[in-house]
Structure 1
Amino acid sequence: MVRPFMNLDPAKRNPAWADEAWIYQPAQAALSAADEVGAGPLAGLRFAVKDNIDAAGLPTTAACPAFAYTPPANAAVVQKLRDAGASLAGKTNLDQFACGLNGTRSPFGAVPNAFNPLYVSGGSSSGSAYVVATGQVDFALGTDTAGSGRVPAGLNNIVGLKPSRGVISARGVVPAAQSVDCVSIFARTVATAVRVLESAMGHDPLDAWSRKLVLSSQPFPATFRFGVPSAPEFYGDAAAEAAFGDAIVRLQAMGGTAVSLDFSPLAEVAALLYESALVAERYAAIRGFFDAHEGDVVEPVRSIIAAGRNYSAADLYEVQTRVKLLGQQADAMWSGIDLLLVPTAPTHYTIAQMQHDPVALNRKLGAYTNFVNLLDYAALSVPSSMRADGLPFGITLIGPCGSDWQLADLGQRYHHQSGLTQGATGEPLPAMVPITGLRPPATVRVAVVGAHLSGMPLNGQLTERGATLICSTETAAHYRLYALPGTTPPKPGLLRVAPDQGERIALEIWAMPLAEYGSFVALIPAPLGIGTLELGDGSSVQGFVCEAQALQSGARDISHLGGWRAYIQSLKPLAA
């Protein structure tokens, strides 16, 4: 089949790039003036759009040539990105009518995986993920109804940001199931995805499902709780199971506590998306075209959409009530966790396997994605590791509606601890950047002089609360430092004295989240406490002090050593 496709300069084309990823790629000379590099927060970035999203003057096919039309205007989100300075590179392949999670259901060809062409790319936003993973564009738009903005990201070592429903306008997008559709963002880093979201988001009164949402501006706490399925399913894929175990360990090392959850309400919602009257919305989305051109729709897309004709309005109301009830059950989990951690996909299939059993295997790919939009959650898929077989493995962080910035902050930190490179390009990850939608947490400066210093036995009481070292400095010259007897681990006592009787004492200043400060102070045993210390530059800070009477029975004055670290060093035997 001849596709409306025009290559870029062949000399600039990587022979490893798959033509199946593109449906329409205009020649560079055909780009409009609006696509030329200009001003704006996205200036200099090139992007592609899934071919169920309108771009003015370029055909929209939804991977069905008989359906094709040429829109006179951009989809609302495309216009926003162009206005922000991004340059449009073309339209990408997809599972027809965005119906599938594997990338093989298109007359324009099956899009291969960016790491092994024998394996699926994931779908339905297959082409968008592939062109990002291979470095052909800086970011791409997909859509996400059942996981189409996440599964291809997880299978291609890139980021898939599925925003809260209604954050990005879907006006000018061919719907799949309009009430739960989301425009999604693929990028090689979380930072790029966030830049795009900042330009793309906003209420659109011309989109029936757009919402005026206020995203949370508070990051997750330094010590957070994340839910994991109590009995995760990997369909016999030992490599995926091991990779998910490693992901849990990494998130725990970042301050998280894993909480085992009954996943059954979420699993039931996931099953209902395709196995109930909810599929009638897919039929309603293209009913006029489908009734007239059913034969032009590929299998199994045709059978899935046709099944929507068989349900009554009563059937739909019944299943919507069931989803609401299951949502109520699932909501209980949020009282004990900050976010949910799942594999983006539980396994990875070859193209041949998928084409042999297209419905059952596709359903398995959506085990951890299908429920998210139905229950109005936000989600972010980030790369996690490379499996022993050379295939990527991704995890998804899921939070309540409006948690987009929180997920991005944690997801960026997780991604950068993975040691992975960007997509399939081999390029290292750039430096992390602050998530601008978040307000940094309120902090209190705490000065430590003894067992809480870096490398000392109690330093973990600071780091486990998310405290960070600001600097090493000294007190003003009117303090004395004592080694307290009978303390475990050994601790000093700091006492303020007259200016002509003291010394400068070395200390460290740490910034601790204000929300964690109370629990830290509660750990301090008498005769120690927190008071105001004067620093050498004349400023003041909260820090450790000691009751004077505690220094009258066996405390050793070590002020002449200048600090606790020097005292501990003095106790070590000299090398022979």
Structure 2
Amino acid sequence: MVHASPSLPEPRPELDGTAAAAWITWLPQPLPPLQAPVEDGPAPLAGLRFAVKDNIDVAGLPTTAACPAFGHVATEDAGVVRRLRRAGALVAGKTNLDQFACGLNGTRSPYGAVPNAFDPAYVSGGSSSGSAFAVATGEVDFALGTDTAGSGRVPAGLNNIVGLKPSRGLLSAHGVVPAAQSVDCVSILARTVELAARVLCAAMGPDPRDPYSRELTLAPAHWPASFRFGVPSLRAFFGDTQAEAAFDLAIERLQALGGTPVEIDYTPLAEAAALLYDSALVAERYAAVRPFFDAHEAAVIEPVRTILAQGRAYDAAQHVEAQTRLRALGQRAAAMWTQIDVLAVPTAPTHCTIADMRADPVAHNSRMGVYTNFVNLLDYAALSVPSSLRPDGLPFGITLIGPCGSDLALAVLGQRYHHATGLPLGATGEPMPVPLPLPQAPAAATVQVAVVGAHLSGMPLNGQLTARGARLVASTRTAPQYRLFALPGTTPPKPGMVRTAPGEGAAIAVEVWDMPLDRYGSFVALIPAPLGIGTLTLEDGSAVQGFLCEPLALAGAQDISHHGGWRAYIRSLAA
């Protein structure tokens, strides 16, 4: 059964009414995969069934964006759907959503409100509501959603599943009805991090038909045993004490996994989030469907109609001002990556019943985005993972946020965290499986950099390495031909290392980090005089890039070479 034209969903005798609300187009016999070239090797997603949010095109099926008057039958697959079908996956149907992906709750659809998979009185979260319900209940193996302000993460957190929000431009958005095109992402919902990461690797790649697609080099799928995680200074749970206690438990679990919590100033993130709807940036939502909306405004339901209509009120100059304001906030927010390796926030700060959401749809919906709205605006990657089941039986999830390109690194930490919870998979009751190896991104060109002082693990500037996807590969020493000095008047305190004549130096402790080559230039640009990058010789005779100091800057500096390294010198000061 395929709907010949966009319409209300037909009855599904094999499911009750609440489950049927998750679907707009249901296919008892899924669409087969597309034939992949033989040289592509075994299909990585062979036999897996997936659902597609109904603002993403599937050839031969209607695309409605939950607005029947807008509906049309797609003539070709969206770029991301085509990649997944070539990887062996089968399309099971099209899922319900908040109309035009405008909402975080799952009730803004003429096809019905999608219920929470654990309690049908509560919202599913949105706008990828149907996709989340279908995954949580085991109807499909994974699903595609979209995520502009949290639409792929909030429903994941509220339904005890994984929501992977890729770096912007990593997955093609060609064939996706835009919400705010410059920040839209196709998202992945699954019951395990491993499957979400496998789907990501099968689906990613540049697409010239998508104006915002880009070729990104991902950081390796690696996470250190010790790390620093940011927690927001803003704790907004709107009186939901169960959610607040669940987040405290999440912080304790991250600590047990080797993390050290660091409170970060949430102000620039919150101000950036507010721009999405409270500034001229909302005009992009109107522009996304402008021809249809201007001709058929009455066909759009409330409060979506009001949200889109307010985009008409802004002029081009105001949009430029909002973009400039956003860039300034991004500069302020970037400082946190020098202090932390990952940011951890509640995926959603509270649960809400469908009745309460309908009674006050704007205020309750706004609460859902407190910890999600800023992520795409500031070009970060994010992964929502299940964290716990509250005393009332409702799920609580956390989101791990990292710099652009950290998608697979986040997956490593996310998988560790998810398996540490011992939770069942979604709402299926199935136990957590044994963790499977995560896929690696295609190998990218890298450069090895030796650091000697403030960039060492745990030191104040280490975040400049981790934010660029650098990975610690060795703790070693230089050849015995260097001298190390404590430079006066530097903030944070830094050493300077110089090469000496043979027989006059010492072996100095260093760490060697492997950094993506395309991020090396931005790292070098941060290095202040009198420091610079040169070629260092290590004790095994190999050569790497590393920190050196201009000799003229050593006047008045203390020679600390006898300590053998910066860490030993810092310990001597404490002693």
Q: TM-score range by the shorter chain?
A: 0.7 to 0.9
Q: What SS is found at the alignment partner of 1:428?
A: coil
1:123 positional shift: 0.2
1:119 matched to which residue of 2? Answer: 122
1:378 positional shift: 0.1
Instruction: Return the match for 1:260 from 263, 273, 278.
Output: 263
Q: Equivalents in 2 of 1:90, 1:439: separation in Å? A: 31
Q: What SS is found at the alignment partner of 1:25?
A: strand
Q: Does 1:234 align with 2:255?
A: no
Report if aligned partners of 1:54, 1:60 keep a CA contact under 8 Å in 2.
yes
2:20 matched to which residue of 1? Answer: 19
1:102 matched to which residue of 2? Answer: 105
Instruction: Return the match for 2:43 from 33, 40, 44.
Output: 40
1:517 positional shift: 7.3
Q: Equivalents in 1 of 2:442, 2:65: separation in Å? A: 40
1:109 positional shift: 0.4
| Aligned residue runs from structure 1 range 523-534, under 5 A | none
| Aligned residue runs from structure 1 range 154-553, under 5 A | 154-217=157-220, 219-437=222-440, 515=474
Q: Equivalents in 1 of 2:84, 2:193: separation in Å? A: 17
1:294 positional shift: 0.2
Amino acid at match of 2:134: V
Q: Equivalents in 2 of 1:34, 1:204: separation in Å? A: 18
Q: List per-residue Cα deviations over 1:457-512 (Å, max 9, x = no partner).
A: xxxxxxxxxxxxxxxxxxxxxxxxxxxxxxxxxxxxxxxxxxxxxxxxxxxxxxxx
Report if aligned partners of 2:222, 2:409 keep a CA contact under 8 Å in 1.
yes
Q: Does 1:3 align with 2:4?
A: no
Amino acid at match of 1:41: P
Q: Equivalents in 2 of 1:516, 1:113: separation in Å? A: 49
Q: Equivalents in 2 of 1:372, 1:35: separation in Å? A: 36
Superposed CA RMSD in Å reads: 2.4
Q: List per-residue Cα deviations over 1:269-308 (Å, max 9, x = no partner).
A: 1111111100000000000000000000000000000000
Give the direction of change, closer, same or farther, for the CA distance of 1:33–1:394 in structure 2 (3 Å limit).
closer
Give the direction of change, closer, same or farther, for the CA distance of 1:25–1:7 in structure 2 (3 Å limit).
farther
Unaligned runs of 5+ in 1: 441-512, 519-576
Q: TM-score, normalised by structure 2?
A: 0.74
Give the direction of change, closer, same or farther, for the CA distance of 1:80–1:2 in structure 2 (3 Å limit).
closer
Amino acid at match of 1:3: S
1:74 positional shift: 0.4
Q: Equivalents in 2 of 1:147, 1:274: separation in Å? A: 13
Q: Equivalents in 1 of 2:294, 2:202: separation in Å? A: 38
1:31 positional shift: 3.7
1:353 positional shift: 0.6
Q: List per-residue Cα deviations over 1:324-346 (Å, max 9, x = no partner).
A: 00000000000010010000000
Q: What SS is found at the alignment partner of 1:146?
A: coil
Amino acid at match of 1:364: R
> How much identity, in percent, do the aligned residues show?
68
Give the direction of change, closer, same or farther, for the CA distance of 1:35–1:99 in structure 2 (3 Å limit).
farther
Q: List per-residue Cα deviations over 1:198-243 (Å, max 9, x = no partner).
A: 1100011111000010000162321100000123111111000000
Give the direction of change, closer, same or farther, for the CA distance of 1:69–1:261 in structure 2 (3 Å limit).
same
Give the direction of change, closer, same or farther, for the CA distance of 1:153–1:168 in structure 2 (3 Å limit).
same
Amino acid at match of 2:7: R
Q: Equivalents in 2 of 1:317, 1:140: separation in Å? A: 35
Report if aligned partners of 1:5, 1:26 keep a CA contact under 8 Å in 2.
no
Q: Equivalents in 1 of 2:204, 2:76: separation in Å? A: 19
Q: Equivalents in 2 of 1:35, 1:272: separation in Å? A: 44
Report if aligned partners of 2:125, 2:154 keep a CA contact under 8 Å in 1.
yes
Q: Equivalents in 2 of 1:202, 1:108: separation in Å? A: 33
Q: What SS is found at the alignment partner of 1:427?
A: coil
Amino acid at match of 1:92: T
2:455 matched to which residue of 1? Answer: none
Q: Equivalents in 1 of 2:320, 2:371: separation in Å? A: 25
Q: Equivalents in 1 of 2:374, 2:205: separation in Å? A: 24
Q: Equivalents in 1 of 2:214, 2:28: separation in Å? A: 37
Give the direction of change, closer, same or farther, for the CA distance of 1:46–1:439 in structure 2 (3 Å limit).
closer
Q: Equivalents in 2 of 1:4, 1:59: separation in Å? A: 12
1:436 positional shift: 2.2
Q: Equivalents in 2 of 1:15, 1:75: separation in Å? A: 30
Unaligned runs of 5+ in 2: 444-471, 478-575
Q: Does 1:92 align with 2:95?
A: yes
Q: Equivalents in 2 of 1:385, 1:74: separation in Å? A: 37
1:5 positional shift: 3.4
Q: Equivalents in 2 of 1:183, 1:516: separation in Å? A: 39
Report if aligned partners of 1:35, 1:86 keep a CA contact under 8 Å in 2.
no
Amino acid at match of 1:134: T
2:147 matched to which residue of 1? Answer: 144
Report if aligned partners of 1:45, 1:87 keep a CA contact under 8 Å in 2.
yes
Q: What SS is found at the alignment partner of 2:262?
A: strand
Q: List per-residue Cα deviations over 1:431-461 (Å, max 9, x = no partner).
A: 1122222699xxxxxxxxxxxxxxxxxxxxx
Give the direction of change, closer, same or farther, for the CA distance of 1:515–1:347 in structure 2 (3 Å limit).
farther
Amino acid at match of 2:125: G
Q: Equivalents in 1 of 2:293, 2:325: separation in Å? A: 28
Q: Equivalents in 1 of 2:253, 2:339: separation in Å? A: 20
How many correspondences in the alignment?
445
